[in-house]
Structure 1
Amino acid sequence: MSKITRVPGYMQSKGNRNRGPIGDREIRYKCSMQNTILDVLRARPGWQEVSGDGDWDFYWCDREWLHANYDTMFLQEHQKILHFRNHYELTRKNLMVKNLKRLRKQTEREMGKKEAESFDFFPTTYELPSEYHIFVEEFKKNPGIIWIMKPAAKSQGRGIFLFRKLKDITDWKKGEYQPLTDPNREVPETYVVQRYIENPYLIGGRKFDIRVYVLVVSYNPLKVWLYRSGFARFSNSRFSLDSIEDAYVHLTNVAVQKTAPDYDPDKGCKWATQQLRQYLTAKHSADAARKVFQGIDNIIIKSLQSVQKIIINDKHCFEMYGYDVLLDSKLKPWLIEINASPSLTASGKDDYDLKYGVLNDVLNVLDLENRLTGKEKRVGGFDLIWDDGPVLADDGSMECSVNGSSTTANSFLGCHSERKKQLREIYTAAQALKKSVAS
């Protein structure tokens, strides 16, 4: 039997008592989702679905299950499970900003203001109701600008609204000053209020943001994989600041846009990241496009570093984040939010193919089958961009195929990806190396 790793506070789970390490046997999995990830798991050769209390090697669980059960189990050496215990330190909007602000202050203290400027990628943000009075002071300094209110722990555009006047949030704030002794007192839900980016980069007159997939397999040391493909999500209506109450203009969430009267489900208001990079290269230059995507790299690494010492690291856990990034009219990338459970439900065939590839490559990176050497810098569509420090591209590696632009960092977001061919090559190379070592 394999060595059992004890996690403080865990109780023995009966499903995990007699399960040995993974060798040539089948890999048993559980999945709490009924979407693309289940299709991927069921199509995976040598993987077998289990239900109920059956023992498992891999579990794609939802966050609620993890929070309810993480502290009541033992996990064996080989088991893998989605989500770190306190992933919300990065994925709740208020905590994300709190952690980024703290690391920015620390960076300025230790390395100076110049280095701290590398954190200038998230809008001015306050938590409400706790920072309401500070927000009001800032609001009065900049009369007439637009602010955006977002629930700290909701997704898919729910509860979001824009405003220019303080009276527009009076109803929301009303419960804050009710006496604590009042039995009918309602505590306002935690929100963040952010300065709205009024000059987004537009294509065809429409606003968009970029969904980027990031896989973290360890926080100590920090090990980060970036997926080459993603998509730009466009609003269904032309952008205008004259109609700040129109969600179809300002919110790019698919959950919002698909309710528009003229929404086309076949097109889904999306571009592949490769298409966006090609557009930016043709419209501006290869160098301008490269700087955009280098800025996104910086956002990813700095945000993960902001929680590196806070996240409860566990070698059994991994996280697949969905980053949402917005470009302004000067091509500066801004971090909008980070999702711990990015949508895996496809809006069309191209979207399904993308998500199927992402999820398949998550499993390829985790490598429960033990088919890799562990030294790979690219697996399918994922490139290793951070491994306890920046990862550089190998000499002679495939350059980004947009007008021949290249980079020294091992990051190829928006670049061409022949993932199936690459997988065949690395598996063949890994098998050959293992045979030579064995002989």
Structure 2
Amino acid sequence: MNGWQKTTSSSDWNIFWASIHTVSRLFHPDSGFRFKDSQIVNHFPTHSELTRKDLMVKNISRLKRELKKEDSALLHKGPDGYSALDFLPESFLLPADYSLFVEEYKRRPNAVWIMKPTGKAQGRGIFIINKLSQVKRWASSRVVGSKDAYLACRYIDNPLLVGGKKFDLRLYVAVTSYKPLRAYIYQQGFCRFCTIRYTPAASDLDNMLVHLTNVAIQKHGSEYNSQNGGKWSIENLKLFVESSYGRAKADQMFSDIQSVIIHSLKAVQPVMVSDRHCFECYGYDLLIDDTLKPWLVEVNASPSLSASTLADRLLKTQLMEDLFHLVVPPDLMDPSTRTVGVNQSPDLEKCGDFVTLIDETKLEKGEKVVRERSARGSRLIWK
């Protein structure tokens, strides 16, 4: 990228694009490492509060409990039966919440559940169940003393389909501070498609090519298109929704998506260590159902930057270019005036497709939420 050089020095650097494990070691009290005023790193030390599936669920549940005590309008149900914070499918941590899961299963015996290991990615270890006996078999087959936990999530069985196929969205969100919260969303993203037409039939529950959109899984299917990587641009999705449902509903869907992201960031804000030397670019994965309601699937701390197609390469190269413009203070390039930490007031005209999602420094004093007119009814959202 323009103006930057790769270095092998362990101490003389400005931006360290590191793994989550390396960042964890840097912030460990025994590491002895101290950031210079001109150094920033690409992860927050407590990022797992958002990016580990079980911790994300825990933090959002905690926020709901706190707001319930205040009778917050954020929890008031709209005409569709959901509140602004109902964007995660019902979830249970197993084996810890096994008894609660059994109760819920008995209450809704026809529901389908997707089992996800809390510490894995790219679809590894995921399976789908519709019988309690399947969970019992899983529990009995676990190695005694195993610390591997699973999250049992209600499976969204009414996904929005394009050409009869299921898809999810990958969006990029950059956070430069949690206290105050400053977050920016990238206007370019993509949809990832399954290669086989969707069917909710029980006989197809074991076919991950029908249910999981991960490229790591889909690329092994015989119908996988290596030219487009089974992907669609966000712009194509918007055009599809506009043509099928109208522009107003398409605009509302994308507004709802932004609300989901803001709520998730607010949920983890109290437990995040917001170090001034940190920023993070998350990969948000969302699913849209056939009512155009967005559901949060997971948040990735290290979204893949590898490219499987030319369009992929162009998008991710530009993403990194724009991200560096967003997070690097202008004075960092001048050794005589280097400043502390991540850019606190980026010039968005130079940041390409990044736009402000939320900036708490620009809110009115004491303002926490604003009322938004929605196709789903009037509601309050964080702003």
TM-score range, shorter chain: 0.7 to 0.9
Q: What one-letter code is carried by the residue in structure 1 that aligns with 2:226?
A: P
- Once residues 289 and 222 of structure 1 are traced to their aligned partners in structure 2, the CA distance between those partners, rounded to angstroms, is 27
Alignment partner for residue 90 of structure 1, among 43, 50, 53? 50
- Once residues 102 and 279 of structure 1 are traced to their aligned partners in structure 2, the CA distance between those partners, rounded to angstroms, is 36
Structure 2 contact 190–231 (Cα < 8 Å) conserved: yes
The change in CA–CA distance for 1:390 and 1:142 in structure 2 (over 3 A counts) is farther
Alignment partner for residue 214 of structure 1, among 173, 184, 192? 173
- Once residues 68 and 163 of structure 1 are traced to their aligned partners in structure 2, the CA distance between those partners, rounded to angstroms, is 38
Q: 1:199 maps to what in 2?
A: 158
Q: What one-letter code is carried by the residue in structure 1 that aligns with 2:274?
A: N
Alignment partner for residue 66 of structure 2, among 77, 102, 106? 106
- Once residues 26 and 74 of structure 2 are traced to their aligned partners in structure 1, the CA distance between those partners, rounded to angstroms, is 44
Structure 2 contact 114–129 (Cα < 8 Å) conserved: yes
Q: 2:336 maps to what in 1?
A: none
- Once residues 68 and 391 of structure 1 are traced to their aligned partners in structure 2, the CA distance between those partners, rounded to angstroms, is 35
For the pair 1:380 / 2:358, whether they are aligned, the reply is no
Alignment partner for residue 98 of structure 2, among 113, 116, 132? 132
Q: 2:8 maps to what in 1?
A: 51
* 5+ residue gaps, structure 1: 1-43, 177-183, 393-408, 412-439
Aligned residue for 2:161, secondary structure, equals: coil
Q: 1:294 maps to what in 2?
A: 255
Larger displacement relative to structure 2 (50-59 or 231-240): 50-59
Q: Give, in angstroms, the shift of residue 377 of structure 1.
A: 4.4
Larger displacement relative to structure 2 (205-214 or 101-110): 101-110
Percent of pairs identical after alignment? 38
* 5+ residue gaps, structure 2: 77-82, 334-342, 365-380
Q: What one-letter code is carried by the residue in structure 1 that aligns with 2:60?
A: L
Return the TM-score normalized by structure 1.
Answer: 0.75
Q: What one-letter code is carried by the residue in structure 1 that aligns with 2:170?
A: R
Structure 2 contact 180–361 (Cα < 8 Å) conserved: no
Q: Give, in angstroms, the shift of residue 279 of structure 1.
A: 1.2
- Once residues 250 and 195 of structure 2 are traced to their aligned partners in structure 1, the CA distance between those partners, rounded to angstroms, is 25
- Once residues 151 and 144 of structure 2 are traced to their aligned partners in structure 1, the CA distance between those partners, rounded to angstroms, is 21
Which has the bigger relative contact order, CA under 8 A and spacing at least 6?
A: 2
- Once residues 334 and 373 of structure 1 are traced to their aligned partners in structure 2, the CA distance between those partners, rounded to angstroms, is 30
Aligned residue for 2:114, secondary structure, equals: strand
Q: 2:26 maps to what in 1?
A: 69
Please give the root-mean-square deviation of Cα atoms over the aligned residues, in Å.
2.1
- Once residues 189 and 105 of structure 1 are traced to their aligned partners in structure 2, the CA distance between those partners, rounded to angstroms, is 27
Alignment partner for residue 229 of structure 1, among 153, 164, 188? 188
**Per-residue Cα deviation, 1:324-373 (whole angstroms, up to 9, x for no partner):** 01010111000010000111111100011111111111101012443899
Q: What one-letter code is carried by the residue in structure 2 that aligns with 1:288?
A: K
Q: Give, in angstroms, the shift of residue 214 of structure 1.
A: 0.1
**Per-residue Cα deviation, 1:189-210 (whole angstroms, up to 9, x for no partner):** 1110011001000010000001
- Once residues 353 and 377 of structure 1 are traced to their aligned partners in structure 2, the CA distance between those partners, rounded to angstroms, is 20
Aligned residue for 2:68, secondary structure, equals: helix
Structure 2 contact 322–354 (Cα < 8 Å) conserved: yes
- Once residues 175 and 284 of structure 1 are traced to their aligned partners in structure 2, the CA distance between those partners, rounded to angstroms, is 46
Q: Give, in angstroms, the shift of residue 262 of structure 1.
A: 2.4
Q: Give, in angstroms, the shift of residue 54 of structure 1.
A: 4.7
Equivalence map 1:390-409=2 (5 Å): none
